[in-house]
Amino acid sequence: MFNILQKTFNTGIVTTAYPRTPVEVPANFRGRPSFDFEKWTDARAAAEVCPTAAIALHDSPDARKVTVDYGLCVFCGLCAEASSDQAVRITREFELAATDRGNLVLTAEYTLNADGTHRQLRKVHRGLRSIDAGVEDAGKAARMKIQQLLGRSLAIREVDAGSCNGCELEIIALNNPVYDIERFGIHFVASPRHADMLLATGPVTRNMELALLKTYRAMPEPKVVVAAGACGISGGIFGENYASLGGVDKVVPVDVYIPGCPPRPQALLHGILLAVGRLRERSFDKHVG
């Protein structure tokens, strides 16, 4: 016992300061891919190698519409490797949680040359907010919310609706000494009747559809739902098929989407803090109404 205590004292504090201070991610960490639509000469190679169709093309005889969906993206990096013009690069950005599914979708429209390459960029649509411009602002907002919004403890009920358990490993890490989510008054509970937030992962398998729905219905109001990971947002690599319904919002309403495959613990915390804001808004509306 003495040796354990001595080692603990010698080790000191290991808990990360995030979100009070920005996180330092490894140089080889793969975050979201960034797209320079002006520079992009041909999206076909990236679309062909994308394993989840996060990059989709819709061609007409002389025009092309390119759709990039971060809710489908698994951050594999293949699109950057396939783009010889270096218009696609992998960043280390992970604070991508959004309260609207449309915020995770970008579209670009091009006129085409005879060989199918891009002649000219006509229009870019970045959803309800620009992901490229909004990542830093979202991170600052998350760091502020911890001071402003967590006036009481937050209880989370986590449901694995059919994942590969990659997201679960990152969620479990939130409780270890490095991330220590309970320092914010956030803890996980066993019963949905004690929960403020439903954190759901994985494509919703047909066997888990009823369990997910019952969990949601058992939670008291006000409540929020967070879909974690590409599978929780869209079905991810599994998509929609005979065994999978796709994303969590096919069964229950979702308030916050956290991209990633899997999202790192800080990305999960970022999304949870955004959801805390939604919970406070609903709590306020309930008392005022």
Question: What is the block-wise mean pLDDT of the chain (289 residues), using blocks of 10 residues?
Answer: 70 78 87 95 96 96 96 96 94 92 95 95 76 46 49 85 95 92 90 95 96 97 94 94 95 96 94 82 56
pLDDT at residue 148, rounded to an integer: 55
Angle at 168 between CA 162 and CA 169, to 5 degrees: 140
DSSP secondary structure letter of residue 220: P
Q: Determine how many CB atoms are found less than 10 A away from the CB of residue 185.
A: 14
Tell me if 267 sits within 8 A of 199, measured CB to CB. Answer: no
Q: Which two tokens stand for residue 88?
A: 């696609």
Q: Select 141-288's CATH number: 3.30.365.10, 3.40.50.12280, 3.40.50.2000, 3.40.50.150.
A: 3.40.50.12280
pLDDT at residue 147, rounded to an integer: 46
Long-range contacts of residues 205-212, Cβ cutoff 8 Å, at least 24 apart? 205/161, 205/162, 205/243, 205/244, 205/245, 206/242, 206/243, 206/244, 206/245, 207/162, 208/159, 208/160, 208/161, 208/162, 209/161, 209/245, 209/251, 211/159, 211/161, 212/159, 212/161, 212/248, 212/251, 212/252
* C-alpha to C-alpha distance for 37 and 82, rounded to whole angstroms: 15
pLDDT at residue 281, rounded to an integer: 67
pLDDT at residue 143, rounded to an integer: 46
pLDDT at residue 286, rounded to an integer: 54
* C-alpha to C-alpha distance for 68 and 102, rounded to whole angstroms: 11
Amino acid at 208: M
pLDDT at residue 3, rounded to an integer: 77
- CATH code 3.40.50.12280 region(s) in the chain: 141-288
* C-alpha to C-alpha distance for 274 and 98, rounded to whole angstroms: 8
pLDDT at residue 19, rounded to an integer: 80
C-alpha dist (Å) from residue 196 to 76, 130, 202, 224, 282? 33, 30, 20, 7, 11
Place of tokens 């402003």: 148
pLDDT at residue 283, rounded to an integer: 61
Beta-carbon contacts of residue 131 (< 8 Å; ≥ 6 apart): 32, 70, 96, 103, 104, 106
